[in-house]
Amino acid sequence: MDWTKQASIFRGMLWLALLASISTTFAFVGHLGPQTASITATARSGSYRTASNTLFMMAGDKKYKIVLVRHGESTWNDENRFTGWYDCPLSIKGLKEAEEAGKALKEANLRFDMAYTSVLRRAIHTLWMCLEELDLMWIPVKKNWRLNERHYGALQGLNKKETVDKHGIEQVNIWRRSYDIPPPPVDKSSEHYPGNDPKYADVDKSVLPVTESLKTTKARFLPLWENEIIPDIKAGKRIVIAAHGNTIRALVQHLDNISEDVICGLNVPTGVPLIYELDENMKPIKHADAIAPLQGHYLGDQEKIRAKIEGVAAQTGGKKLGNHLPKTFGSEYICGW
């Protein structure tokens, strides 16, 4: 037999070995269930290398990543008012914070396939600025009222110091420190009742809040997480959420199983991306730079971030509320203030 025939036989044997390997891979994929159909299709189209890499991730420790961004400072934050569902814009400082958040995401080479945000302009604008920095303004954005800030009921629009003057420090302490006691409800004739706002015309009025605690804010948000966001994550979508202090609190309490007492003292800095890695059961994988009680980590200089978190605590404490408050009126008194 001459050398050309030997070479031809050898090539044939190599192809048979490769086909046997691919068949074994497809058999293994079949045991993994229908979610691997995309892998099989990819391999059949000739991208065997890509399919093998994906299969490795599924057979090993599969991880998902989600990025949370609290909107930049709003004009009512700057005026020290209870903002809630009032649709005020970002302040000059807030615009800068949103820009810096986008730059941090870009420097970390993070990419996204989809975004979620509330129907309030401060969160929407923050998201736009992040996506613009990433050249991703074309990706799908889902706006949902369930991502809105906590509704502060009859307190919405009031100056926080004036609220202490009106209601007294003891009552304000109850609203601030409590996980499940909401402020007085807003009157349904008020401009602050969501049922009077065209943004919520398609929402059943029976589920629109007249006031909320952190507990009820969490109950309002979680259906969106469970029914829409998790399926998108598991479908392989890389997701960024631009939201508010209390909806982010609600989510991290759920993810990290944080107690009611501790979550009330958690301060979420504005304009600092918070990154979570999740396992296949949507449980967080603790990061080395996590700041307790969180298992996710903030993106950026960790010392500066710690200082910013402490600044949030000081801003919501006695410094802004005036001389009515004891010196200890700091972060331990805050529950969505």
Confidence of residue 132 (pLDDT cuts 50, 70, 90): very high
The arithmetic mean of pLDDT across residues 121-141, rounded, is: 98
Establish whether 311 is an annotated binding residue. no
Q: Is the pLDDT of residue 319 over 80?
A: no
* Catalytic residue set: 71, 149
| Residue-range domains of the chain with CATH | 3-59 (no CATH), 64-333 (3.40.50.1240)
Q: Is the pLDDT of residue 96 over 90?
A: yes
309 vs 213, which has greater pLDDT?
A: 213
327 vs 180, which has greater pLDDT?
A: 180
42: tokens are 């990819």
Establish whether 83 is an annotated binding residue. yes
Establish whether 84 is an annotated binding residue. yes
d(CA 233, CA 238): 7
- Nearest of 62, 118, 70 to residue 97 by alpha carbon: 70
The arithmetic mean of pLDDT across residues 155-163, rounded, is: 91
Confidence of residue 149 (pLDDT cuts 50, 70, 90): very high
Q: If you ran DSSP here, which 8-state letter would residue 286 be given?
A: P
61-91 burial, b for 16+ CB within 10 Å, e for fewer? eeebbbbbbbbbbbbbbeebbbbbbbbbebb
Confidence of residue 51 (pLDDT cuts 50, 70, 90): very low
Establish whether 160 is an annotated binding residue. yes
User: Residue 160: what are its φ and ψ, rounded to 5°?
Assistant: -65, -35
310 vs 137, which has greater pLDDT?
A: 137
Radius of gyration of the chain (CA): 25
Q: pLDDT value at position 310?
A: 81
Per-residue pLDDT tens digits for 55-67 = 334 444 679 999 9
Q: Which of 112-126, 161-175, 277-291 has the lowest mean pLDDT?
A: 161-175
Establish whether 260 is an annotated binding residue. no
219-251 burial, b for 16+ CB within 10 Å, e for fewer? ebbeebbeeebbebbeeebbbbbbbbbbbbbbb
Task: Say what the pTM is.
Answer: 0.78
d(CA 194, CA 207): 10
Q: Is the pLDDT of residue 152 over 50?
A: yes
Q: pLDDT value at position 323?
A: 41
- Please provide the average confidence, as pLDDT, over all residues in the chain: 83
Establish whether 71 is an annotated binding residue. yes
